[in-house]
A and B are shown apart, each in its own frame.
Chain A
Amino acid sequence: EIVLTQSPGTLSLSPGERGTLSCRASQSVNSNSLAWYQQKPGQAPRLLMYGTSRRATGIPDRFSGSGSGTDFTLTISRLEPEDFAVYYCQQFGSSLTFGGGTKVEI
């Protein structure tokens, strides 16, 4: 099973700042097989990115994804108030596993 480790656990930033979230895999992941989700309190997760760098429908372009092999990154170029949430990465190339999440807080 591929284990995904997200860092940092919590990211404290201010609106307008840049956020960089990391997702590291225990084995190499096909870059087509990595997704990111956003979850706000009391809500279900929402798809942000898939195939590492492809934005889901309706996701603003301040969100971008990159990476390959075992290291992947979600970048939020300028944080908006509504971006403060928990973010999860997921790999779907070998079974289906999630990272532990990164909380982006003010």
Chain B
Amino acid sequence: EVQLVESGGGLVQPGGSLRLSCAASGFTFGDYDMHWVRQVTGKGLEWVSAIGTLGDTYYPDSVKGRFTISRENATNSLFLQMNSLTAGDTAVYYCVRGNFDVPVSPLSNWFDPWGQGTLVTVSS
């Protein structure tokens, strides 16, 4: 069974940092692009980062320069280092596997499956 399990969420003060982790199982992790997608409680979905199979990384402007995605294929792990956090970063963060018909770019992925999510709260 393909499974993604996030951890590392919690309460952090504005300006602080947090590192999220995602443990993947049930598939050949190194063969897939991976992503983080977040969702403010009661609101919509926002893609926040992607990493390709070769370690190439991608970010939207909203987090560029503050968030860093990385992966460790040997341990089937995905990470998201989040710095300079603000209240606007408060959300549930989902680890997601990228899928494709032809391997072009992580920006050409649809998402399946999704982890259960980990809540990040930025508040003083």
Bound-complex Cα distance A100 to B94 (A) = 17
Give per-residue flags for A70-106: 1 if the beta carbon is below 8 A from chain B beta carbons, else 0. Answer: 0000000000000000001010111111111100000
Interface residues on B, range: 20 to 34
Contact flag A44-B116 (CB < 8 Å), given A32-B101, A96-B50, A98-B46: yes
Bound-complex Cα distance A92 to B112 (A) = 13
* Chain B residues closer than 8 Å to A51, beta-carbon distance: 101, 110
Asked if A92 contacts B117 (CB within 8 A), the reply is: no
Asked if B45 contacts A45 (CB within 8 A), the reply is: yes
Chain B nearest CB from A52 CB (Å) reads: 11
Bound-complex Cα distance A10 to B50 (A) = 31
Bound-complex Cα distance A47 to B44 (A) = 15
A interface residues, tally (CB under 8 Å): 23
Contact flag A100-B44 (CB < 8 Å), given A44-B94, A44-B116, A50-B99: yes
* Chain B residues closer than 8 Å to A33, beta-carbon distance: 108
* CB of A13 within 8 Å of the partner chain: no
Asked if B107 contacts A44 (CB within 8 A), the reply is: no
* CB of A63 within 8 Å of the partner chain: no
Chain A nearest CB from B70 CB (Å) reads: 19
* Chain A residues closer than 8 Å to B77, beta-carbon distance: none
Asked if B108 contacts A90 (CB within 8 A), the reply is: no
* CB of B60 within 8 Å of the partner chain: yes
* CB of A46 within 8 Å of the partner chain: yes
Q: Which residue of A lies closest to B92 (CB)?
A: A44
Chain A nearest CB from B96 CB (Å) reads: 9
Chain A nearest CB from B2 CB (Å) reads: 10
* Chain A residues closer than 8 Å to B108, beta-carbon distance: 33, 92-93
Asked if B110 contacts A90 (CB within 8 A), the reply is: yes
Q: Which of chain B's residues 109-124 have a Cβ closer than 8 Å to chain A? A: 109-117
> Which residues in B have some Cβ–Cβ distance to A below 8 Å?
35, 44-47, 50, 60, 94, 99, 101, 107-117
